């Protein structure tokens, strides 16, 4: 094992044009790792704290770097992340910033892999990883906090669950994205793109469902494997706690109506994945919805598919769990959701993200590794997903900072 010899930090650009923290870790024997922090827009209330980048960098230089350089082995990820927690001293990284913490944590992991001459996913996950690949969830239409004057539901996702390889899945999602463009053009609807590269047309959610369903059907036919649909409702952003309702423009739904609405969408569009359908404080409503649609069951008696059992729909907690084992433990106890979104910067270190994944898997919750709406060319999450055998990764469909992760998955699959 080789000690960390240097940690350098700088402010670089993210995909929204904001500053972010980039970290470089070098080791005694010349190992090197570089990583950068992503950043959310529809952030959960209970996430670790992101500081202004220059402030985060100054604090990390003062408090964290001295605890790492010459003190911790680069391959000892728990040691690195413990040093970061020790330097910060709070439970939400509000002192050095979760952006500094996560950049250093990921850069150290890359340096650890480099010193051993193995890929990052193998360093993190062990010698037997690299055979299973996550299904990429591709954001093809979106609005909410990611685009003005577009859909209320934040993300309409393509889910190529039948793809024989990750490369096929990645290209299927890109094809759905293109189909959506073509269908919008057929309908005479102009659309720009939101923060994650999804189309952001000024249509209501009902029309977005129609368009994405049509696009996934066309691609299913063209590619010869099943491409289904998923959603990130980002319910906390729609929820008005004073009124106790979810607001879709003029239309509002109370919690019981919201549960009915989402359960109806699961049936109507055969949704494979629904993230944050409800408010981030409402474990009870999450549990009720999970109970209704979260288990495999015979499809209710509607039409010709009545006899076909429905796969389990993943009800995923993002803002609900914020990659935090305490919040996940509460969810497990209360039966809220059956899946957790894993965003390392929500919690600040790779160790904490790993612990959340392990707790999830032990309890039958599916981990879904995820990007943020503000991203960089950093591809650590691709390796994290492969290292942990995560069944899904959410990292967009197109756009350089999104394809950085998707192309990395293709390379890992290709043993490149
Ligand atoms: C990726 C997401 O958006 P953000 O990064 O803005 O939280 C999300 O809500 O899942
Ligand atoms: Mg989300």
Tokens encoding 343 = 């965003």
210 is known to lie in a ligand binding site: no
Listed in sequence order, the residues at least 6 apart from 20 whose beta carbon sits closer than 8 Å to its beta carbon are 11, 12, 13, 14, 36, 37, 38, 39, 53, 99, 103, 374, 376
Question: What φ, ψ does residue 168 adopt, rounded to 5°?
Answer: -60, -40
Residue 250 annotated to the active site: no
Return the bridge partners of 191, or none. 201
Q: Which domains does the chain have, with CATH numbers?
A: 4-117 (3.30.390.10), 135-413 (3.20.20.120)
Is 146 annotated as belonging to a binding site? yes
Instruction: Give strand pairing partners of 1.
Output: none
Question: Within 10 A of 390 (CB to CB), how many other CB atoms are there?
Answer: 23
Contact predicate 271/313, CB 8 Å = yes
Tell me the C-alpha distance between 407 and 187, whole Å.
32
What are the tens digits of pLDDT across the range 123-174?
A: 999 999 999 999 999 999 999 999 889 999 999 999 999 999 999 999 999 9
DSSP 39: B
pLDDT of residue 307: 37
Interacting residues of 401 by C-beta distance below 8 A, sequence separation 6+:
14, 15, 371, 375, 376, 377
Q: Which of 267, 243, 265, 263 is nearest to 253 (CA)?
A: 243
- Which of the ligands is closest to the CA of residue 277? 2
Q: Are strands 135-142 and 392-394 parallel, antiparallel or unpaired?
A: parallel
- Ligand 1 within 6 A of CB of 67: no
**What is the predicted pLDDT for the residue at 215?**
98
State residue 284 phi and psi, 5-degree precision.
Answer: -65, -45
ipTM of the complex: 0.99
Whole-angstrom distance, CA of residue 404 vs CA of residue 410 = 10
| CA-based nearest residue to 317, from 235, 194, 198 | 235
Q: Provide the β-strand partners of residue 392.
A: 135, 368
Of 375, 298, 307, nearest in space to 344 by CA: 375
Distance (Å, whole) CA 170 – CA 404: 12
Annotated catalytic, 59?
Answer: no
CA–centroid distance, residue 152 to ligand 1 (Å): 14
3-state secondary structure of 32: strand
| Phi then psi dihedrals of residue 392, to 5 deg | -140, 150
* Ligand 1 atom with minimal separation from the 39 CA: 5
**Percent of the chain having pLDDT more than 70?**
96
Q: Could you tell me if the CB of 232 is within 6 A of ligand 1?
A: yes
pLDDT in tens, 84-131: 999 999 999 999 999 999 999 999 999 999 999 999 999 999 999 999
**CA 40 to ligand 1: nearest atom:** 5
Given a contact cutoff of 8 angstroms between Cβ atoms, the answer to whether 132 and 149 are in contact is no
Pocket flag, ligand 1, residue 42 (CB < 6 Å): yes
Task: State whether residue 245 is helix, strand or coil.
Answer: strand
Nearest CA to ligand 1 atom 4: 40
For the chain, list residues with pLDDT below 70: 296-311
Ligand with minimal distance to 316 CA:
2
What would the two tokens of residue 384 be? 């994290």
The predicted pLDDT at position 300 comes to: 40
Q: What is the pLDDT of residue 409?
A: 98
* Catalytic pick among 95, 110, 193, 343: 343
Q: Whole-prediction pTM value?
A: 0.96
> Dihedral through CA 386, CA 387, CA 391, CA 393, nearest 10?
-60
């Amino acid at each position: 094992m080789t000690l960390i010899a240097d940690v350098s930090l700088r402010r670089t650009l993210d995909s929204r044009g904001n500053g972010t923290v980039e970290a470089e870790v070098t080791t005694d024997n010349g190992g090197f790792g570089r990583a950068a922090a992503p950043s959310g827009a529809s952030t959960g209330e209970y996430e670790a704290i992101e500081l202004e980048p220059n402030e985060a960098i100054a604090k990390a230089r003062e408090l964290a770097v001295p605890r790492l350089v010459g003190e911790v082995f680069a391959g000892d990820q728990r040691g690195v992340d413990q040093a970061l927690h020790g330097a910060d001293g709070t439970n939400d990284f509000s002192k050095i910033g979760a952006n500094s913490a996560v950049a250093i944590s990921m850069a150290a992991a890359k340096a650890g892999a480099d010193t051993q001459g193995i890929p990052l996913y193998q360093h993190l996950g062990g010698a037997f990883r690299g055979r299973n690949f996550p299904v990429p969830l591709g954001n093809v239409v979106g609005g909410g906090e990611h685009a003005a004057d577009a859909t209320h539901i934040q993300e309409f996702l393509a889910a190529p669950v039948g793809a024989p390889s990750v490369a096929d899945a990645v290209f299927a999602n890109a094809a759905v994205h293109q189909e959506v463009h073509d269908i919008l053009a057929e309908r005479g609807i102009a659309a720009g793109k939101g923060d994650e590269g999804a189309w952001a047309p000024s249509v209501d959610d009902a029309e977005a469902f129609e368009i994405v369903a049509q696009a996934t059907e066309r691609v299913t036919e063209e590619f010869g494997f099943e491409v289904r649909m998923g959603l990130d409702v980002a319910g906390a952003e729609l929820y008005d706690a004073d009124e106790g309702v979810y607001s879709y423009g003029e239309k509002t739904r109370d919690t019981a109506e919201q549960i009915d609405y989402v359960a109806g969408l699961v049936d109507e569009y055969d949704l494979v994945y629904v993230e944050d359908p409800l408010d981030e404080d409402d474990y009870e409503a999450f549990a009720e919805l999970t109970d209704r649609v979260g288990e495999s069951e015979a499809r209710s008696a509607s039409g010709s598919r009545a006899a076909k059992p429905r796969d389990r729909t993943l009800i995923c907690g993002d803002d609900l769990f914020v990659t935090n084992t305490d919040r996940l433990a509460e969810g497990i106890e209360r039966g809220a959701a059956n899946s957790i979104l894993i965003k390392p910067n929500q919690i600040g270190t790779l160790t904490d993200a790993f612990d959340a994944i392990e707790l999830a898997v032990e309890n039958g919750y599916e981990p879904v590794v995820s990007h943020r709406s503000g991203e960089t060319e950093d591809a650590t999450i691709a390796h994290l997903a492969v290292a942990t055998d995560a069944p899904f990764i959410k990292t967009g469909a197109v756009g350089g900072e999104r394809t950085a992760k998707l192309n990395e998955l293709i390379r890992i699959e290709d043993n490149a």
